[in-house]
Amino acid sequence: MELNILIICYLIGSVTFIIGLKMLSHPESARRGNLIAAAGMAISILGTIFLYEEGGVKLGNYIWIFAALIIGTVLGTIAAKKVKMTAMPEMVSLFNGMGGACAALISIVEFDHLNHQIQSGGATDSGTLLIIFAGLIIGTISFAGSMIAWAKLNGRIKDFAFNGQHIMNLVIFAVIICLSAYLIISGDPAAGTLFYVVFVLSIIYGLFFVLPIGGADMPVVISLLNSFTGVAAAFGGFLYDNPVMLTGGILVGSAGTILTILMCKAMNRPLSNVLIGSFGGASSGAASKDQGAYKEISISDSAVVMSYAKKVMIVPGYGLAVAQAQHVCHELEKLLSDKGVEVNYAIHPVAGRMPGHMNVLLAEADVDYARLLEMEHANEEFPQTDVVLVLGANDVVNPAAKTDPGSPIYGMPVLDVELAKLVIINKRSMNPGYAGIENELFFQPKSSMLFGDAKSVLQKLVAEIKTL
Q: How much is the average pLDDT of 16-35?
A: 88
Can you say how many angstroms the Cα of residue 313 is from the centroid of all Cα atoms in its chain?
25
Question: What share of the chain in percent tops pLDDT 90?
Answer: 52
Tell me the pLDDT band of 460, cut-offs 50, 70 and 90: very high
Helix (H, G, I), strand (E, B) or coil at 426: strand
pLDDT for position 279: 43
**Helix 2-23 and helix 243-266: axis angle, to 10°?**
10
Check pLDDT > 50 for residue 137: yes
Q: How much is the average pLDDT of 368-377?
A: 91
Check pLDDT > 50 for residue 238: yes
Task: Give the span between the Cα atoms of 60 and 460, in whole angstroms.
Answer: 61
Can you say how many angstroms the Cα of residue 414 is from the centroid of all Cα atoms in its chain?
19
Kindly list the domain boundaries of the chain, sorted by start residue: 1-82, 87-281, 292-466
pLDDT for position 316: 94
User: Residue 462: CB partners within 8 Å, gap ≥ 6?
Assistant: 328, 331, 332, 335
- pLDDT per residue as tens digits for the range 409-442: 777 889 999 999 999 999 988 776 655 677 889 9
CATH architecture of 292-466: 3-Layer(aba) Sandwich (3.40)
- pLDDT per residue as tens digits for the range 277-314: 444 444 444 444 556 688 999 999 999 999 999 999 99
- pLDDT per residue as tens digits for the range 344-355: 999 998 787 777
Helix (H, G, I), strand (E, B) or coil at 325: coil
Question: What share of the chain in percent tops pLDDT 70?
Answer: 90
Among residues 210, 215, 219, which one has the least CA distance to residue 259? Answer: 219
- DSSP letter string over 354-401? STTHHHHHHHHTT--GGGEEEHHHHHHHGGG-SEEEEES--GGG-THH
Q: What is the dihedral of CA 147, 150, 151, 153, to 10 degrees?
A: 160
pLDDT for position 262: 82
Task: Give the span between the Cα atoms of 183 and 370, in whole angstroms.
Answer: 55
Task: Give the span between the Cα atoms of 306 and 336, in whole angstroms.
Answer: 8
Longest Cα–Cα distance of the chain, Å, equals 87
Task: Give the span between the Cα atoms of 302 and 175, in whole angstroms.
Answer: 60
Can you say how many angstroms the Cα of residue 427 is from the centroid of all Cα atoms in its chain?
24
159 is catalytic: no
pLDDT for position 283: 41
pLDDT for position 346: 95
Q: Which of 55-64, 320-329, 341-350 has the lowest mean pLDDT?
A: 55-64
pTM (global) more than 0.85: no
Q: pLDDT higher for 411 or 75?
A: 75
Q: Which of 217, 395, 404, 416 is catalytic?
A: 395
